[in-house]
Structure 1
Amino acid sequence: MNSQDLLADGFERIREAVHGAVEGLSPEDVNARLDADANSIAWLVWHLTRIQDDHVADAADVEQVWFSQDWAARFELPFPKEATGYGHSSKQVAAVRVQSAELLLGYYDAVHEQTVRFVRGLDDAALDGVVDASWSPPVTLGVRLISVLADDLQHAGQAAFVRGSLERR
């Protein structure tokens, strides 16, 4: 297995976890919060997808799917279109409400497709390239992609936990 296959497999595992957490849920369940300050499945999946879209598009030097496919207009969220959910308050988390599970999965799948196309086109040398010199040490493409994988898996797991809690009610 080469680096490209390894990365593509990692992103495919996120896709499986996201679909497992979201498929078949009603809008009520997707938007439910377990308590007043908890993250909803809608927010968790939207946020992990926005971060992946933002970070991978930047590394690939392409436009974010959020903008290129006009997902921002479809979601109709009450904050700047550039928002990714990073640093959101409980009130902002509550404002992420979606009309359907299909909307969340549609955006996620579009980002997943762009991500996998990008990582499959990489060679090992590209992973050592610096994508963010503002950190010490500078962040390489390999480190950035692993960071996205780790963050996405955590949020997908949280979404699965919320789903399980809702189903046991």
Structure 2
Amino acid sequence: MTPAQLLSDAFGRIHDGGVAVLDGLDPDQLATRPGPDANPVGWLVWHLTRVQDDHVADAAGIEQVWTAQGFADRFALPFEVSATGYGQSRLEVGQLRADADQLRSYLTAVHEQTLGYVAGLDAGDLDRVVDHRWDPPVTLGVRLVSVINDDQQHLGQASYVRGLLGL
């Protein structure tokens, strides 16, 4: 298995899991919080997609799907276009209202861009430093594994919250 195949499989699992967790949920269910500070399914899927979009586009040196394909305008969220959900307040989390088709469409578009990028990677590419702000500096391989790990954690949270909805 090549590094590109391995990464494609991991990102494919995130996409497929995201599509599954959204299946059949209406906007109210997507916005339901199991507690006052808990994150709802819709926000979790949006956030994991934004993180993947932001981090992969940065590493690839390409524009994010969020802006390039007009998703920022379609979602019309009341916060900065650059927001990925990191560090958002309870109030900001509650401001995301979207339907499953909208979230699925964005997730799929990001997935396609991610697959297009990782398809061209080989083992040597994974050692390229993409972030010098850390010690040690972050390589492409570490960044992609970090995105996969973060996305999988949020996908698990979304699945758990969906279960709490009795679905």
Q: Shorter-chain TM-score: what band? A: over 0.9
Superposition pairs for residues 70-81 of structure 1, below 5 Å? 70-81=70-81
How many residues are aligned here?
167
- Give the Cα–Cα distance (whole angstroms) in 1 for the partners of residues 79 and 25 of structure 2: 25
Corresponding residue number in structure 1 for 2:132: 133
Task: Give the secondary structure class of the aligned counterpart of 2:165.
Answer: helix
- Give the Cα–Cα distance (whole angstroms) in 2 for the partners of residues 143 and 110 of structure 1: 23
Runs of 4+ deviating beyond 4 Å: none
Corresponding residue number in structure 2 for 1:102: 101
1:17 positional shift:
1.2
1:91 positional shift:
1.0
Corresponding residue number in structure 2 for 1:161: 160
**TM-score for both structures, normalised by structure 2:** 0.98
The question of whether the paired residues in 1 share the 8 Å contact of 2:2 and 2:122 is answered with: no
1:76 positional shift:
1.0
The question of whether the paired residues in 1 share the 8 Å contact of 2:72 and 2:81 is answered with: yes
What whole-Å deviation, never above 9, does each CA across 1:65-106 have from its counterpart, x for those lacking one? 0000010011111101110100111111111111x1000000
- Give the Cα–Cα distance (whole angstroms) in 2 for the partners of residues 96 and 138 of structure 1: 34
Q: Is 1:59 matched with 2:59?
A: yes
User: What's the C-alpha RMSD, in Å, of the aligned pairs?
Assistant: 0.8
**TM-score for both structures, normalised by structure 1:** 0.97
1:20 positional shift:
1.4
